[in-house]
Structure formats: C-alpha cells, structure tokens
Structure 1
Amino acid sequence: MTPLSEQELHQLAMNIVGKEMEDQGFEFLAINSKPKKDPQYVALKKGKLHFVVVRAVRYPENPVVYDEKLMTTVRDHAVKYKARTFYAGVGIANNRDYEMPVHHEDDYVVNYAGLIEIK
C-alpha cells in the first residue's frame, strides 16, 4: 500500500476547503495548490477580498492550531489589499487506524472546523 504524499494530502485538503468555499458563494480569483506557497486561495465574496491559507494536518496534530507568525505575515499582506485573512486546517487520518498513514487504498476521516478568521 502506498501512502499519500505531502502534495496529495495538500490537494485533498484544498479540495475540501475549495468545495466549502464554493458552496458559500466565494468567487475564486487565484488558486495556488503548492504547499506552503501562501495564500492558497484569493477569493471574492460579496465584493470583499479574502486570503485563505490551507494546511493538511496529520493526526494527532490539531488542525485548528496554526503558525501564528505565518498567519500574521499573511494578514499583514492582506491588509494592504483590504482583504480578510483566514486559516483552513484540514485534519486527515486513516479511517482504520488513526496512527497509520493515509493510503490510496484506504478510506480516511476528516476533521475540518471551517475557515478561521485571523484578525
């Protein structure tokens, strides 16, 4: 069994966050699917610009805990564009055993609390 790579886990997280944003009426202006190339999403909603940083988080790490220094840097950049800044941490674990890596052949569970605004 082949475990998902960092890029594949990131893509999975991007898809989960992107679908939620689409369902909430966001209009995507730019999408950057490279891990750690921030922000991943630049989007409009009701005429307001949003910067969204996406992270795939492996169990047992907590997906709502973010790198404050990074998010402050992104927020400070967003302010120049009058944009709001959000963090989207997506916890991903193997459905059979949380301690095992997520494999292509396995189901997985998602722990995603939604977009967290950085003020």
Structure 2
Amino acid sequence: MKKALTEQELHNLAMNHVGKELEQRGFEFVAINSKLKKHPQFVCIDKNSQYYFVLVRAVILPDNPNNYDVVWMETFKKHAREKDAKVLYAGVGLGNPEGEDLPIYLNEEYLIEYNGIQVIETHLN
C-alpha cells in the first residue's frame, strides 16, 4: 500500500535538495534545523567566514515555490542583520506526476520545481 508523505517528510525532502546544492557551492554547515516552522533551516558559512541563514520552503504544486510572506521575511531579515548574516531563500515545489490532487508517495516518483537559491537583500529600505 502506498504511503503519502507527511508535511514534515515533504519539508525534509525539500531540505535534502537544497542541502546538496549548498554542499556543491562549498558552504560549510554550522547548524541544521529540520523542524517545521523553525527558521532558518541551515546556518552556513562560506570560505570567507560569512554567515548565511538559509530558509527552505516546501509547497505543493501548482503553488509557486518562489513566493514567500514579505512581512515575515522583513522580520527575519532584521534578525539576520543583527547577527551580521546574509539571507538565502530556497522554495521547492513538489507534486505527484499523476495529478495535482494526489499526494506524493514514499519511494514513488515526484515532480519538483526548484529554481535554486535566491539571495534576499537585507539592507534597510
């Protein structure tokens, strides 16, 4: 019998995709938080010791993974400025290839819409 992925499992799947890209880009992981609604998901540093807070958001297609709550992001950007960190956002859209009304199942193929990591400007407006 097929097992539909839970919201937490979908979040973890999205984090796996983003984590692989961060590794390929040479980031070093300082902290990883996979709990839903706890941010950031990754705290990383680059070769210049610049800290990055990486926010990962999983959505079910056809929702747009590149959209985020702008008001909430402003609050998070303030936190990043206080810690002298940069903010990266990675939206990951996941879906069932057999229909958008169907869940994503464990060990089954799935659709992914991922446009990579976006830099979120933290400067004051």
TM-score for the superposition, normalised by structure 2? 0.90
- Which of 95, 107, 110 in structure 1 is aligned with 2:97? 95
Larger Rg: 2
Identity %: 48
Code of the residue aligned with 1:103 in structure 2: it is Y
The answer for unaligned runs of 5 or more in structure 1 is none
Q: Which residue does the alignment assign to 2:56?
A: 54
Cα contact 1:32–1:41 (8 A) shared by 2: yes
* Letter in structure 2 aligned against 1:6: E
Q: Secondary structure of the equivalent of 2:63?
A: coil
Q: From the two aligned structures, give the one with the greater strand fraction.
A: 1
8 Å Cα contact 1:3-1:104 kept in structure 2: yes
Counterparts of residues 1-119 of structure 1 (less than 5 Å):
1-46=2-47, 47-119=49-121
Asked whether the equivalents of residues 93 and 110 of structure 1 are also in contact (C-alpha less than 8 Å), the reply is yes
Q: Choose 101-110 or 59-68, whichever is displaced more.
A: 101-110
> Where do 5+ consecutive residues of structure 2 fail to align?
none
TM-score (norm 1): 0.94
Aligned length: 119
1:101 is paired with a residue whose SS is coil
SS in 2 for 1:18: helix
Shift of the alpha carbon at 1:105? 4.4
Runs of 4+ in 1 over 4 A off after TM superposition: none
Compute the displacement of 1:59 (Å). 1.0
Can you list the C-alpha shifts for 1:3-47, whole angstroms capped at 9, x where unaligned? 100000000001000000001000000100001100111100122
Distance 1:49 1:105, change over 3 A: closer
